[in-house]
């Protein structure tokens, strides 16, 4: 997964240091720059792309919420503040999360994981296919043609409406590459295409005349569809 580029807009040195330290602990985050006020950050954003802003609210010159309203196409935003009364306004401006100072690393990680999940979802929705290694070849497989994926120890079997493919990768690896709304794991060894399910019971799903077992820990997955 490519790194999430981020900036910090925070005028309190100690708060900025906490964020820098937390960011350094997360492998998929890349800190671009720290700003003491939103005006300097605005100049940066005119010249550089970023994926995530950690934004304090009480800033000199231009307050955090006012700054947000100036952005025509803002990246993901995580508000970091000691003031809870701005939460509703923040979420009305589509911020990803709202962290009340002081916050622990676990709460910080929850917030950045939301950003990561959303970016994966957008990336997956933007394409309709995947390339997988099949016998030293890269084979293009359309998401719309996949029926199910079955784990076979060190390999997976991808069954489509036209063919079957064996690739050396895990179900966890392929699951990361699939659109999460279109594919669901129903068993430790099986991932199915939701729109290909023809019928189901508490124990199995049927698609294209094939019965696939539902694992004990996955029974709620089907019920939530």
Indicate which CATH number applies to the domain containing 72. Answer: 3.40.50.2300
Let me know whether 51 and 9 are in one domain: yes
Let me know whether 63 and 150 are in one domain: no
140: CB partners within 8 A, 6+ apart? 129, 130, 131
Q: Where a domain ends, among 125, 145, 166?
A: 125
Q: Cis omega (within 30 of 0) on the bond before 77?
A: no
pLDDT of residue 1: 54
Let me know whether 30 and 120 are in one domain: yes
Let me know whether 115 and 200 are in one domain: no
Distance CA 135, CA 121 (A): 29
Q: Which domain holds residue 175?
A: 129-223
Let me know whether 93 and 81 are in one domain: yes
CATH number reported for the structural domain that contains residue 197 in this entry: 2.40.50.40
Let me know whether 91 and 120 are in one domain: yes
**Over its length of 225 residues, how does the chain's per-residue pLDDT go in tens digits?**
579 999 999 999 999 999 999 999 999 999 999 999 999 999 999 899 999 999 999 898 889 889 999 988 889 999 998 888 767 777 777 899 999 999 999 999 999 999 998 888 777 666 788 899 998 889 999 999 999 999 998 999 999 999 999 999 999 999 988 888 899 999 999 999 999 999 999 899 999 889 999 998 888 887 777
Let me know whether 103 and 165 are in one domain: no
Q: How many domains does the chain have?
A: 2
Let me know whether 207 and 169 are in one domain: yes
Query: Do 89 and 65 contact (CB within 8 A), yes or no?
Result: yes
Let me know whether 91 and 195 are in one domain: no
- Residue with token string 């079955």: 150
Q: Where a domain ends, among 108, 125, 142?
A: 125
According to the 3-state scheme, what is the secondary structure of the chain?
Answer: CCCEEEEEECCCHHHHHHHHHHHHCCCCEEEEEEECCHHHHHHHHHHCCCCEEEECCCCCCCCHHHHHHHCCCCCEEEEEECCHHHHHHHHHCCCCEEEECCCCHHHHHHHHHHHHHHHHHHHHHHCCEEEEEECCEEEEEEHHHEEEEEEECCEEEEEECCCEEEECCCHHHHHHHCCCCCEEEEECCEEEEHHHCCEECCCEEEECCEEEECCHHHHHHHHCC
Q: Where a domain ends, among 107, 125, 143?
A: 125
Let me know whether 121 and 190 are in one domain: no
Let me know whether 96 and 8 are in one domain: yes
Question: What is the number of residues in the chain?
Answer: 225
pLDDT of residue 88: 74
- Residue with token string 């985050």: 29
Let me know whether 103 and 9 are in one domain: yes
**pTM exceeds 0.75, yes or no:** no
């Amino acid at each position: 997964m490519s790194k999430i580029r981020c900036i910090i807009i925070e005028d309190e040195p100690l708060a900025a240091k906490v964020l820098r330290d937390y960011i350094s602990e997360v492998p998929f985050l890349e800190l671009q720059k720290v700003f003491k006020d939103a005006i300097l950050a605005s100049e940066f954003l005119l010249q550089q792309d970023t994926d995530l802003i950690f934004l304090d609210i009480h800033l000199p010159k231009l307050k955090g919420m006012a700054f947000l309203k100036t952005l025509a196409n803002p990246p993901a935003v995580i508000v970091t503040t000691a003031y809870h009364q701005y939460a509703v306004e923040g979420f009305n401006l589509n911020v990803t999360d709202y962290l009340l100072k002081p916050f622990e690393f676990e709460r910080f990680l929850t917030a950045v994981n939301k950003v990561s999940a959303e970016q994966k979802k957008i990336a997956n929705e933007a394409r309709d296919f995947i390339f997988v290694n099949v016998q030293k070849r890269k084979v293009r497989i359309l998401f719309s043609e996949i029926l199910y994926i079955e784990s076979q120890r060190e390999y997976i079997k991808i069954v489509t409406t036209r063919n079957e493919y064996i690739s050396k990768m895990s179900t966890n690896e392929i699951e990361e590459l699939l659109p999460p709304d279109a594919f669901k794991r129903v068993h430790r060894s099986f991932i199915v295409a939701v729109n290909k399910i023809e019928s189901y019971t508490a124990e199995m799903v049927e698609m294209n005349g094939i019965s696939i077992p539902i694992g004990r820990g996955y029974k709620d997955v089907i019920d939530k569809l």
